[in-house]
């Protein structure tokens, strides 16, 4: 008898957790809708967006560029050592470019973005909540969803695809440095092999589309976690951790689905 | 003054992002502004297309003149039908040109090479190349070679 | 009109629950126009919840909340934001926008809700800061201010749009005696000079009693009693008496509800 109740308790616990997750998802959808839909009444929206583009985009640039160069260089090194076994070192450009454009550019950018900008967004909004700045905005008659949340969402949506493009470009540049300057792959075949195999629509644009999807998901998670967090210091730190974990898992999971949809048919 | 440096840095960031996309388009994917110019569709039937894929290049004398756009099975003749887009400026291919499936290197990708025929009539949009040479299938080749050597021994 | 015009805020039969627990159960409160009304009660009795109900940041489960002639639960989101322009709130922590200077903080409501030219906004901000005695701090950032000064800047921001109702959330908590004295004087002064309706939510008995014209004591999800400070001091209701005199045990027990101590010590095993 006692055992049966504990099993039932466990099931009830599971059910409650499931309901909590569903409720949070519902709240986050409403949240996104209210933040993005409709027009805001205040006039300096561009200024607000500019401010956020700076803190979300410009401040993430350094880590993106540095990581991009190193990842491109590593790809070229590894690719060279594998491809030279088959005597096709000149394909290293193709390998670096395709890997970056299709996968690593969007994915690594999203992961870095979640760690750098996402956690900062969550902490900042959580802090504004705990110091009652959000309530205060509301009582002044300004919708915090429009004033605080919307510019941050848009800044994330705009920044991440651009960051992913920059990541791929510096990565390919880093790869070409290693392959051409250091390992001595013939420059002409490095680039022509790349250009022959990379398709603008299938590879470049699909990569950008991936990155747009990741941008929406990561920014959404980060901003929502901040807005929905418990307004205490532990609550904020928990929410920040959740942002990084949830956003990273969401990016990796979505990446598989998107890859299967985009590149899976051949 | 503070907002001004902020605006400038944001402007530079946006510019860098767009520039990166343009670089990816032009330098990396080799997209040329003129590449969307007119092409014409040519078909070829092969006994075996083994390993040829859509987007493979079509070359003539080693120069890329087009790409494969679709591959399907022709239900009547049981042959593989390859559709390719040839650049509009290469409009002087004789009708009896040969299309063969070639391999770049021993293990490289498959592509189509076209060698010129002698016909006066030229290939037009929607035409079919009749003279084709299928891909070399390594297993068949080895099989034939073994069979020959066994026959000789007897 | 379903409400008395003499009252700026009126709660009728309001209930609010957090989970299973009633914070308010069928509560009636009327707050007269142009007066300072104190809302007092032990910590955790839902005083801040009450403010949030009046500011419509929380929705009551049932009942009517009339603010300045409109019933909050029936308002749409945009009407609500319009109504809030006529309300000022001083939050417990001040809630200044940390990325804006003192000037921009006070100017914020003006910039958002009016099309006034910049020099006029500057004049108004200077006047409001002068009223709270912080005109000299105009170019500082919030993190350069002391706690008491932050609250005064927040007060200047709350009165920037000349609201009709001012809500104070625990204005005296964590203030040194001087800052507290300054705030007490300011609240009274603003109320009388501007003809504002002030609602002070607090558990600081002496300060609240010294400025409030009328006091509601809430606790146990009910209104325990109301009256002028003197009436309440003289009340023979044991719960009000306990609160007003600050005795540790009484109708509000010292112990949180629990099993008998002996049972807990001996039992160990539960149900």
d(CA A129, CA B65): 62
Chosen for mutation from C19, C90, C91 (greatest number of chain A CBs closer than 10 Å) is C91
d(CA B73, CA B79): 6
Q: In a 3-state reduction of DSSP, which class is residue C94?
A: coil
Q: Is residue C202 scored above 70 in pLDDT?
A: yes
C-alpha to C-alpha distances, C11 to B124, C28, C197, nearest whole angstrom? 85, 5, 15
Chain A residue with Cα closest to B31: A200
d(CA A149, CA A134): 10
- The mean predicted confidence, pLDDT, of chain B is 82
Q: Give strand pairing partners of B67.
A: B57, B85
Write the residue in B10, B17, B54 that is nearest to A165 by C-beta.
B17
d(CA C211, CA C36): 7
Q: b or e along A38-51 (b: 16 or more beta carbons within 10 Å of the residue's beta carbon)?
A: eebeeeebeebbbb
Q: Is residue A224 scored above 60 in pLDDT?
A: yes
pLDDT on residue B17: 92
Chain C residue numbers with beta carbons less than 8 Å from the beta carbon of A135 are: 52, 55, 57, 89, 91, 95
Rounded to a whole number of angstroms, the distance between the first and last alpha carbons of chain C is 55
Q: Is residue C270 scored above 60 in pLDDT?
A: no
Contact A133 C111 (CB under 8 A): no
Query: Which string of DSSP letters, residue by residue, matches C146-161?
Result: -HHHHHHHHHHHHTTT
Residues of chain C with pLDDT > 90, as a percent, come to 0
- Overall average pLDDT of the A151-162 stretch: 94
Q: How far is A243 from chain C (nearest CA, A)?
A: 23
Q: How far is B14 from chain A (nearest CA, A)?
A: 7
pLDDT on residue A171: 95
In order of their start, the domains of chain C are 1-86+193-271 (3.40.50.300)
C79–A contact, CB cutoff 8 A: no
d(CA C88, CA C162): 8
Write the residue in A44, A136, A141 that is nearest to C81 by C-beta.
A141
- Overall average pLDDT of the C193-202 stretch: 85
Chosen for mutation from C80, C83, C87, C108 (greatest number of chain A CBs closer than 10 Å) is C108
Q: Give strand pairing partners of B129.
A: B44
Tokens found for residue A173: 């540049």
Sheet holding B131-133, edge to edge: B128-129, B39-46, B79-87, B63-74, B57-60, B110-115, B98-103, B131-133
Chain A residue numbers with beta carbons less than 8 Å from the beta carbon of B24 are: 101, 165, 168-169, 204
Q: Is residue A165 scored above 90 in pLDDT?
A: yes
Q: Is the distance from CB of A160 to CB of A110 less than 8 angstroms? A: yes
Taking CB atoms within 8 Å and a gap of at least 24, the contacts of A85-92 are: A86/B107, A87/B105, A88/B105, A88/B107, A88/B108, A89/A179, A89/A183, A89/A185, A90/A185, A90/A186, A90/A189, A90/A190, A90/A193, A91/A193, A92/A175, A92/A179, A92/A183, A92/A185, A92/A190
In 3D space, the residue among C177, C240, C242, C170 whose CA is nearest the CA of residue C208 turns out to be C170
Confidence bin at C271 (pLDDT 50/70/90)? very low
- The mean predicted confidence, pLDDT, of chain C is 80
Rounded to a whole number of angstroms, the distance between the first and last alpha carbons of chain A is 57
Q: Is residue A196 scored above 60 in pLDDT?
A: yes
Residue identified by tokens 């909540």 is A129
Chains that touch C (3 or more CB pairs under 8 A): A
Chosen for mutation from C18, C75, C97, C104 (greatest number of chain A CBs closer than 10 Å) is C97
Chains that touch B (3 or more CB pairs under 8 A): A
For C178-188, how does the pLDDT look when each residue is reduced to its tens digit (9 = 90+)? 878 888 888 88
Q: In a 3-state reduction of DSSP, which class is residue B6?
A: helix
Bigger pLDDT: A85 or A252? A252
For C59-79, how does the pLDDT look when each residue is reduced to its tens digit (9 = 90+)? 778 888 888 878 887 888 778
pLDDT on residue A72: 95
Residues of chain A with pLDDT > 70, as a percent, come to 95
B105–A contact, CB cutoff 8 A: yes
- Overall average pLDDT of the A20-26 stretch: 88
Chain B residue numbers with beta carbons less than 8 Å from the beta carbon of A98 are: none
Confidence bin at A231 (pLDDT 50/70/90)? confident
pLDDT on residue A237: 94
Bigger pLDDT: C246 or C128? C128
Chain A residue numbers with beta carbons less than 8 Å from the beta carbon of C157 are: 140
Chain C residue numbers with beta carbons less than 8 Å from the beta carbon of A143 are: 81
pLDDT on residue C166: 87
- Overall average pLDDT of the A241-247 stretch: 95
Q: In a 3-state reduction of DSSP, which class is residue C14?
A: strand
d(CA A235, CA A230): 5
Tokens found for residue C82: 């319009």
A88–C contact, CB cutoff 8 A: no
- Distance from the Cα of residue B99 to its chain's centroid: 11
Q: Is the distance from CB of A53 to CB of B10 less than 8 angstroms? A: yes
B16–A contact, CB cutoff 8 A: yes
- The mean predicted confidence, pLDDT, of chain A is 89
For C133-173, how does the pLDDT look when each residue is reduced to its tens digit (9 = 90+)? 888 888 888 888 888 888 888 888 888 888 888 888 888 87
Contact C109 A140 (CB under 8 A): yes
Q: In a 3-state reduction of DSSP, which class is residue C162?
A: coil
d(CA A201, CA B31): 10
Q: Is the distance from CB of A189 to CB of A197 less than 8 angstroms? A: no
A62–B contact, CB cutoff 8 A: no
Strands C21-32 and C7-18, by their bridges, are antiparallel
Query: Which string of DSSP letters, residue by residue, matches A216-245?
Result: HHHHHHHHHHHHHS-SSHHHHHHHHHHHHH
Chosen for mutation from A56, A195, A208 (greatest number of chain B CBs closer than 10 Å) is A195
Q: Which of A12-16, A83-87, A212-216 shows the lowest mean pLDDT across its residues?
A: A83-87
Confidence bin at B111 (pLDDT 50/70/90)? confident
Please give the backbone phi and psi of residue C132, each rounded to the nearest 5 degrees, phi first: -100, 5
The helix or strand, by DSSP H or E, that contains position C2, with its residue range, turns out to be: none
Chosen for mutation from C95, C96, C104, C269 (greatest number of chain A CBs closer than 10 Å) is C95
d(CA C108, CA A135): 15
Contact C97 A133 (CB under 8 A): yes
Bigger pLDDT: A98 or C218? A98
DSSP letter (8 states) at residue B154: -
Query: Which string of DSSP letters, residue by residue, matches A56-94?
Result: IIGGGHHHHHHHHHHHHHHHHHHHHHHHGGGT-GGGHHH
Highest mean pLDDT among A11-20, A110-119, B84-93, C184-193: A110-119
Chain C residue numbers with beta carbons less than 8 Å from the beta carbon of A1 are: none
pTM score, whole prediction: 0.77
The helix or strand, by DSSP H or E, that contains position C219, with its residue range, turns out to be: strand C214-219
Sheet holding C21-32, edge to edge: C21-32, C7-18, C62-67, C70-71
Give the ranges where C33-146 is alpha helix by DSSP (H).
47-54, 77-84, 102-113, 118-131
Confidence bin at A1 (pLDDT 50/70/90)? very low
DSSP letter (8 states) at residue B137: P
Tokens found for residue A208: 């950008």
Give Cβ neighbours of residue C141 (< 8 Å, ≥ 6 apart).
C98, C101, C102
Which residues numbered 136-175 in A keep a CB inside 8 Å of some CB on C? Answer: 136, 138-143
Confidence bin at B125 (pLDDT 50/70/90)? confident
Give the ranges where chain C is alpha helix by DSSP (H).
47-54, 77-84, 102-113, 118-131, 147-158, 177-194, 205-211, 229-233, 238-245, 261-267
Bigger pLDDT: A221 or B85? A221
Q: What angle do CA A247, A253, A254 make, to 5 degrees?
A: 85
Confidence bin at C1 (pLDDT 50/70/90)? very low
In 3D space, the residue among C90, C89, C15, C88 whose CA is nearest the CA of residue C58 turns out to be C15
Q: How big is the A-B interface in CB pairs under 8 Å?
A: 82
- Distance from the Cα of residue A94 to its chain's centroid: 25
- Overall average pLDDT of the B64-77 stretch: 85
- Overall average pLDDT of the A179-195 stretch: 85
- Overall average pLDDT of the C225-238 stretch: 78
pLDDT on residue A242: 94
B21–A contact, CB cutoff 8 A: yes
């Amino acid at each position: 008898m006692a055992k049966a109740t504990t099993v039932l308790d466990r099931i009830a616990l599971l059910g409650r957790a499931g309901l909590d997750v569903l409720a949070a998802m519902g709240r986050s959808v409403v949240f996104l809708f209210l933040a993005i839909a409709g027009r805001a009444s205040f006039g300096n929206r561009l200024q607000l967006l500019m401010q956020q583009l700076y803190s979300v985009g410009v401040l993430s640039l350094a880590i993106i560029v540095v990581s991009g160069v190193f990842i491109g260089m590593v790809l070229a090194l590894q690719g060279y050592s594998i491809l030279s076994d088959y005597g096709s070192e000149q394909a290293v450009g193709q390998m670096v470019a395709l890997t970056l454009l299709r996968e690593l550019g969007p994915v690594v950018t999203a992961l870095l973005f979640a760690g750098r900008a996402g956690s900062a967004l969550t902490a900042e909004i959580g802090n504004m909540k705990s110091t009652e700045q959000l309530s205060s905005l509301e009582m002044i008659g300004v919708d915090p969803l429009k004033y605080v949340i919307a510019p941050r969402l848009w800044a994330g949506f705009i920044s991440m695809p651009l960051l992913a493009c920059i990541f791929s470009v510096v990565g390919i540049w880093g790869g070409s440095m290693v392959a051409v300057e250091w390992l001595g792959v013939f420059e002409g075949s490095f680039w022509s092999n790349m250009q022959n195999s990379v398709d603008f629509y299938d590879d470049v644009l699909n990569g950008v589309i991936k990155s747009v999807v990741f941008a929406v998901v990561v920014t959404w998670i980060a901003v929502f976690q901040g807005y929905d967090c418990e307004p205490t210091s532990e609550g904020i730190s928990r929410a920040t951790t959740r942002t990084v974990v949830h956003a990273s898992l969401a990016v990796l999971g979505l990446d598989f689905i998107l890859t299967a949809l985009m590149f899976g048919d051949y | 003054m503070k907002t001004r440096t902020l605006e400038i840095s944001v402007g530079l960031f946006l510019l860098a992002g767009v520039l990166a996309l343009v670089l990816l388009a032009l330098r990396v994917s080799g997209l040329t502004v003129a590449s969307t110019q007119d092409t014409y569709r040519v078909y070829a039937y092969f006994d075996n297309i083994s390993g040829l894929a859509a987007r493979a290049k079509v070359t003539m004398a080693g120069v890329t003149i087009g790409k494969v756009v679709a591959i399907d099975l022709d239900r009547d003749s049981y042959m593989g039908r390859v559709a390719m887009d040839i650049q509009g400026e290469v409009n002087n291919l004789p009708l009896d040109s040969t299309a063969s499936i070639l391999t770049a290197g021993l293990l490289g990708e498959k592509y189509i090479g076209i060698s010129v025929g002698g016909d006066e009539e030229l290939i037009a949009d929607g035409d079919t190349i009749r003279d084709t040479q299928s891909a070399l299938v390594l297993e068949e080749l080895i099989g034939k070679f073994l069979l020959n050597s066994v026959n000789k021994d007897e | 009109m379903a409400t008395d015009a003499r009252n700026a805020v009126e709660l009728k039969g309001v209930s609010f629950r957090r989970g299973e627990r009633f914070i308010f159960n069928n509560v009636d409160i009327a707050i007269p126009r142009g007066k300072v009304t104190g809302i007092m009660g032990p910590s955790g009795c839902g005083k801040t919840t009450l403010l949030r109900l009046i500011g419509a940041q929380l929705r009551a489960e049932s009942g009517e909340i009339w603010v300045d002639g409109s019933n909050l639960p029936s308002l749409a989101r945009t009407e609500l934001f319009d109504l809030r322009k006529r309300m000022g709130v001083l939050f417990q922590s001040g809630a200044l926008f940390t990325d804006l200077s003192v000037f921009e903080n006070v100017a914020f409501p003006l910039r958002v809700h009016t099309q006034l030219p910049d020099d006029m906004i500057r004049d108004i901000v200077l006047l409001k800061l002068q009223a709270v005695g912080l005109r000299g701090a105009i170019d500082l950032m919030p993190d350069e201010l002391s706690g008491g000064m932050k609250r005064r800047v927040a007060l200047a921001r709350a009165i920037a749009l000349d609201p009709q109702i001012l809500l104070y959330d625990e204005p005296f908590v964590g203030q040194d005696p001087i800052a507290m004295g300054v705030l007490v004087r300011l609240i009274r002064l603003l109320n009388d000079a501007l003809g504002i309706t002030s609602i002070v939510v607090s558990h600081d008995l002496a300060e609240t009693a010294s400025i409030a014209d009328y006091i509601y004591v809430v606790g146990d999800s009910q209104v325990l009693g109301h009256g002028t400070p003197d009436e309440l001091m003289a009340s023979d209701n044991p719960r009000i008496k306990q609160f007003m005199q600050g005795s540790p045990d009484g109708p509000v027990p010292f112990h949180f509800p629990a099993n008998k101590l002996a049972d807990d010590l001996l039992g160990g095993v539960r149900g």
